[in-house]
Structure 1
Amino acid sequence: MAHHAEAQIRPGTRADLEQLTAIYNHYVLQTHVTFDTVAFTPQQRRPWLAAYADRGPHRLFVAEAAGRLLGYATSGRFRAKPAYRTSVETAVYCAADAAGRGTGTLLYQTLFAALADQGLHRAYAAIALPNEASVRLHTRFGFRECGRYAECGHKFGRYWDVAHFEKPL
């Protein structure tokens, strides 16, 4: 497993779809951090990937080392209504063996640098609890908790809370 210092951060491309899907599917099948419950095929994830661009507020960055993706970070549409256009929802996912090695930090540094001149007002993130690592990462980047939904998701035979975080941009 490559250390995060060896990772190159770059925009995600269509060629990354299989590895992006594999990273996400780990969280779908093994964790409560996403409320998806059935693994995706790369073809099913194509519309998700198509929502990101090389420029603008809706971005996808990947961390890569030795041809392998270590993780990705996104900023996507917060809500569909036009008045939300100056807000984005962010997320970061790391390959299981890359978590806790600084990859998420590198990805968020790149993502927020790219968003700096996009005329955005707020970034939001939703974190299924408990998830101390994600809470620490978001707090380190200036997010603060702004609300919580109690027991809103049911997965693995139990209910999970979701904390909502916001960050001024």
Structure 2
Amino acid sequence: MTIRTATSADAAAIAAIYAPIVQATSISFETEAPSVEQMRERIVKTLQDLPWLVSEDAQGRVNGYVYASKHRERAAYQWSVDTTAYIREDARGQGIGKELYGELKRILVELGYCQAFAGIALPNEASVALHESVGFEALGVYRNVGFKHGQWHDVSWWQCTLQASAEPRPLQAFDAFGGHAGGLSA
């Protein structure tokens, strides 16, 4: 398995992983799967400030991804992020999510972030197990917060302390897989 920074060229593979989750499950609260172009725009926008990583299998195919996004808009939240991870259906249960999260957390610490949060639509035992395995702790549950596929769903919220305190650095000043450099590009 290889983990690397996502590029805009990964949009089709990422969209293919995400589409069946949107269409057939309540794990994502999106109701329409984003197009490849929409996914490309999301990747490029995220990489302006935060990491988006992909995992490749032995054949070089993207088999999972993880990324960070801004936790909230107000300035005092700037040291916290939300995280998201999805694994290709035929690659689940192989530790890919755990490896991706390990790299994401390492990069977030280097960038100065202190807290990571994740929301998990319930039920989702696999995601709960993944988040517990990488150090997230349950905070609470929003009850009946999302309506999809004809029923209401709860979302559990999780938190992982990345480090006690630090000041974030811009992603452009950090090369995720080699130290400091000119930045990451999509």
- Structure 1 length as normaliser, TM-score? 0.90
1:98 aligns with 2:114: no
Q: Give the Cα separation in 2 of the matches to 1:39 and 1:153.
A: 17
Any conservation in 1 of the 2:7–2:44 contact (CA below 8 Å)? Answer: no
How many corresponding residue pairs? 161
1:127 maps to: 120
2:13 maps to: 19
Q: Give the Cα separation in 2 of the matches to 1:112 and 1:86.
A: 13
Q: Identical aligned pairs, as a percentage?
A: 38
Q: Give the Cα separation in 1 of the matches to 2:61 and 2:105.
A: 23
Gaps of 5+ in 2: 163-186
1:59 maps to: 51
**Which is strand-richer, 1 or 2?**
1
Alignment partner of 1:117: what SS? helix
Q: Post-superposition, which runs of at least 4 consecutive aligned residues in structure 1 deviate over 6 A?
A: none
Which deviations, in whole Å up to 9, do the C-alpha atoms of 1:65-90 show, x marking residues without a partner?
21311000111111122211100001
- Structure 2 length as normaliser, TM-score? 0.82
Alignment partner of 1:51: what SS? helix
Gaps of 5+ in 1: 1-6
2:65 maps to: 72
Q: Give the Cα separation in 2 of the matches to 1:51 and 1:63.
A: 20
1:166 maps to: 159
Which deviations, in whole Å up to 9, do the C-alpha atoms of 1:27-68 show, x marking residues without a partner?
1011111000112211122331122228x6x11110112131
**AA paired with 1:107?**
L
